Structure 1
């Protein structure tokens, strides 16, 4: 028996979940955006799968490795779990067409503003894409949401939990990119 489909809240990482220090990858540099753990817990309690979709071009630029990114994500998920919040999956794109590391110098379909990470998650997880949305802080995030035919909501700062509460109030409306 297959798992019932659930809506997903796709969240960008840097600038939405954690403070963007510019190529943030060290676990000790993790600082949550105000309200982020509460926002993720709110999404969990509302029945949403929470999926992180993050460009990590620092790998292609030679600033850090995919293992460094994985370590950061493990730390972030552990810290969120301590706060009673759960991220169901993390999708990370290490590619950049102007990267200095040859194997990552690719114009990859996962790199936002392309929708690859969202579409892959929709294939791999029990996601009801029609009831899903994305929260990001950049125009490339919103463009990826639009390309995946889901609502895109631009977070410009403040308390993420307050922002998510507002998005959830609108979630049943047929809203597209804002």
Structure 2
């Protein structure tokens, strides 16, 4: 597998990052990519990097979704934006105390293991503070792409912030080749 510099893979949060967040979505027909998702993913793949999705799906633990419904939605995401090299899903709720649910690093570490990469060779892009905390706990690079649900304190706490997915990818690829990163105040593009 190729890569730019030491960066070998970019992992993404699913809901609110790659696709419009539909709470506890069980219907593949409701999947709508974020506006800059496809061009950003194409750029990552052209650079020779692996891609993956890391997603909390507590609706399973809450009895609002089945694993099969989540997998059907994931399949639709893969049809629209894939193929992805790795998928990691946490079916647990916030009180379950698992090691996989973000902000815990378990899913990122599992994705790294599947890809055969050290966490320092992987970046994670997400839309909330828990995503940034999971990446930091795993030892991976992180970029926050804020949306309307991102709290201001999450933006202020993030080391790297991009206004959309394309900006996040350019920052990651630029950093991997010695370019500078920035922390704009803008929030992510609306959905397509």
Q: TM bucket by the smaller chain?
A: 0.7 to 0.9
Deviation at 1:150, TM superposition (A): 1.1
| Comparing 150-159 and 14-23, the one that deviates more | 150-159
Q: Specify which of 134, 143, 165 is matched with residue 144 of structure 1.
A: 134
Task: Give the aligned partner of residue 23 of structure 1.
Answer: 24
Spell out the pairing of 1:38-117 with structure 2 (5 A cutoff). 38-81=39-82, 86-98=83-95, 106-117=96-107
**What count of residue pairs does the alignment treat as equivalent?**
163
Native 8 Å contact 1:4 1:126 kept in 2: no
Secondary structure of 2:51 counterpart: strand
Aligned counterparts of 1:112 and 1:35: Cα–Cα separation in 2: 24
Native 8 Å contact 1:155 1:163 kept in 2: yes
Aligned: 1:156 with 2:156: no
1:121-170 Cα distance to aligned partner (Å, 9 max, x none): 22222224322211010100000000011111100145422332233212
Q: Which runs of 5+ in 1 are unaligned?
A: 99-105
Native 8 Å contact 1:7 1:129 kept in 2: no
Aligned counterparts of 2:91 and 2:119: Cα–Cα separation in 1: 24
4+ aligned runs moved over 6 Å, structure 1: 3-6
Aligned: 1:168 with 2:158: no
Deviation at 1:4, TM superposition (A): 7.7
Secondary structure of 2:133 counterpart: helix
TM value normalised by structure 2 = 0.77
Secondary structure of 2:76 counterpart: helix
Task: Give the aligned partner of residue 101 of structure 1.
Answer: none
Aligned counterparts of 2:88 and 2:23: Cα–Cα separation in 1: 19
Task: Give the aligned partner of residue 12 of structure 1.
Answer: 13
RMSD in angstroms over aligned alpha carbons?
2.3
